[in-house]
Amino acid sequence: VMIPILVLLSGTLAGLTLGYMSLDETQLRVLSVSGTPQQQVWAKKIEPIRKNGHLLLTTLLVGNMVVNETLPVLTDNVLGGGIQGVVVSTVLVIIFAEIIPQSLCSRYGLQIGAYMAGFTQCLIWAMFIICWPISKVLEFVLGPHHGIVYRRDELKELINIHSAMSHHGGDLQSDTVTIVGGALDFQEKKVLDAMTPIADVFMLSIDSRLDYETLAKVVRSGHSRVPVFEEKVGGNGQVTKQIIGVLLVKQCVLLDPEDATPIRDIPLNVLPTIPFDEPLHNTLDRFQQGNSHMAVVSRI
């Protein structure tokens, strides 16, 4: 009678070892908050047990070792000792206490772990005196048992993998992956990576007049703000364009094109100047303050 019980107990401990240790603390925390209602219940049952990973692992391994060492003794008594006792106990352990339980727990680890949480907690209390010192030695040698924390590049690749495996139940679309990937890269980007080169910017000269032709160009550009430049002659005789402000297109609504109003007579908004190597998120914070929606990037 004891042999089947020990085989069952050995299989339970072996399966729980694989099942619990394959459930990372980070994964459990995610499931307890954003999983299905049933997954949330299961994860919350396992979290208190999984929190002290070294104690949990030590308890399950020591318990399994005791059971596996007891099993050959009983089979020797039943089968009369000899090689047959070793063979029978080995076959029983491998098939019914290793392969089958671990296969089940590797696939249904969350569900089985939740159902066995009470049993596991009682086992931890029963073996606490033996296993607690061992777990402390492990913690001293290996460090505390924390959940996996992904680096930015790892998290980005994980999202890409989920997108590629959408046919296996993933619900991340390519557009979502692109947006999330851009957000993860955002903190590393500089202003230089996002700016528009001055040669590609639609601008107006301070000496221009807002006649039909100029206003038509503004409309075709599709912009709500147009930088205004003034030509400056440097010491070497080279002519450069210096941006002196920005013209709001809405300022032109009440202007009569036949008047050909000089841009010089229209009040311009001042553009802030930012360094080219400033982090892009700092610039976004500036824009969100509402003082400006455009800036001039300087290399000086």
Q: Which domains occur in the chain, in start order?
A: 2-142 (no CATH), 152-188 (no CATH), 192-298 (3.10.580.10)
Q: Hunting for tokens 């300022």 — which residue is that?
A: 251
Q: For the full predicted model, state whether its pTM sits above 0.85.
A: no
Q: What is the pLDDT of residue 126?
A: 94
Q: What is the pLDDT of residue 68?
A: 83
Q: What is the pLDDT of residue 300?
A: 65
Token readout for 69 is 């060492």
Grouping H, G, I as helix, E, B as strand and the rest as coil, residue 23 is coil
Q: Which residues pair with 156 in a beta bridge?
A: none
Q: What is the pLDDT of residue 148?
A: 75
Q: What is the pLDDT of residue 203?
A: 93
pLDDT digits (tens, 9 = 90+) for 3-36: 888 888 988 999 999 999 988 888 899 899 988 8
Q: Please name the amino acid found at residue 28.
A: L
Residue count of the chain: 300
Question: Can you tell me the distance from the alpha carbon of 144 to that of 162, in angstroms, rounded to the nearest whole number?
Answer: 30
Q: What is the pLDDT of residue 79?
A: 66
Question: Can you tell me the distance from the alpha carbon of 116 to that of 12, in angstroms, rounded to the nearest whole number?
Answer: 9
Q: What is the pLDDT of residue 47?
A: 92
Contact by Cβ (8 Å): 257, 212: yes
Residues of the chain with pLDDT under 70: 1, 78-82, 85, 166-171, 235, 300
Distances (CA, A) of 178 to 109, 163, 172, 194: 32, 10, 10, 16
Contact by Cβ (8 Å): 246, 203: no
Phi then psi dihedrals of residue 82, to 5 deg: 85, -170
